[in-house]
Amino acid sequence: MKRKDAAAPDPTAIGDVSSPPFVRLPDPASLFAARSARLRQLANASDLAPYLNFLAGLAATQHDVQANLAPAEGPDAATLTRAREFEMPPLHRNGVEDGEAIGSIFDRLFAAADAIGKPASAADALARVTGADPGARLAMAETVLSGSLPADAIAEHIFVWAALQVHFARLASVLDPGALTPVADGICPVCGGRPVSSMVVGWPGSHGARFCCCSLCSTLWHYVRVKCLLCGSTKGISYREIENHGGTVKAETCDECHGWTKIFYQNKEPATEPIADDVASLSLDLLMREGPHRRGGFSPLLAGF
């Protein structure tokens, strides 16, 4: 496997950016179904097909468990005002302590996930998390929200993460996008989550703009190109890619913080879905392990690789 290096800024043309919106909020009614379809498409031409198909089933379950859930209730006016005043995300990551809403999603998702084809180890992990009491589930949720997964219980925490994604995507979807403002480099302006990746889009009105994807609530937020997503530096930015992969995914590296993140080119591959394509591009992660940069952000679905 060879890599193609670009020591200078991204050679891909910046493109025509008119006036991209700051955020594109998730639509839970279509988000997980579209992700499932993309995962199955990617599985057709991947050595990771068993894992991608398992994740496709999990994403389909995330879609299905939303049926007949009570409507999501966003933050009250005072919380929104305070968040804007102090430049904080309006969704508190300790919101899972509310109990009833997330508890219902936990129960539904864990029960439905039993029908997904999976290896014995994943089935055992699902049984453990299904049998856990509410306090243990919330403790696992707090671990996921901290941005790390324990090496000895990754599978259990993936199921918890899947439930949290549903919960936070629903909460994010009812916000007013016009009231959201930047928080900090590498931080979701909606929930404070870390990005799984970013992508250069080809959407009308935003062609050539870059959007980051939150690993928790799936909000997409605009972030200028050739700038480190992790530390905000515009110095020492370069790009790495695997040869003969069509330039649809690259590693954006930063010599200031010594981190790297994935950047997809949805303007070249319109079907790109940032979380699905992140898993399918594992070969880039393996390549980057040979170098001095560490991957930043949060990519829970690749935690075991």
Query: Would you kindly state where each structural domain of the chain is located, as residue ranges?
Result: 3-23+179-302, 27-178
Q: Which CATH superfamily is domain 27-178 in?
A: FdhE-like domain (3.90.1670.10)
Can you name the CATH fold of 3-23+179-302?
FdhE-like fold (3.90.1670)
Confidence of residue 11 (pLDDT cuts 50, 70, 90): very low
* Mean confidence (pLDDT) of the chain: 92
**Continuous segment of H or E residues that includes residue 262:** strand 259-265
Write the pLDDT tens digit of every residue in 167-202.
Answer: 999 999 999 999 999 999 999 999 999 999 999 999
Question: What amino acid is encoded at 213 in this protein?
Answer: C
Write the pLDDT tens digit of every residue in 102-139.
Answer: 899 999 999 999 999 999 999 999 999 999 999 999 99
Judged against a pLDDT cut of 90, whether residue 13 lies above it is answered with no
198 vs 214: CA distance, rounded Å: 9
Say if residues 32 and 166 touch (Cβ distance below 8 Å): yes
Write the pLDDT tens digit of every residue in 48-107.
Answer: 999 999 999 999 999 999 999 999 998 999 999 999 999 999 998 766 765 678 899 999
Q: Which pLDDT value is given to residue 7?
A: 43
Q: What is the CA radius of gyration of the chain?
A: 19
Question: What amino acid is encoded at 206 in this protein?
Answer: S
117 vs 33: CA distance, rounded Å: 17
What tokens appear for 29 in the block? 């009614």
CATH topology agreement for domains 3-23+179-302 and 27-178: yes
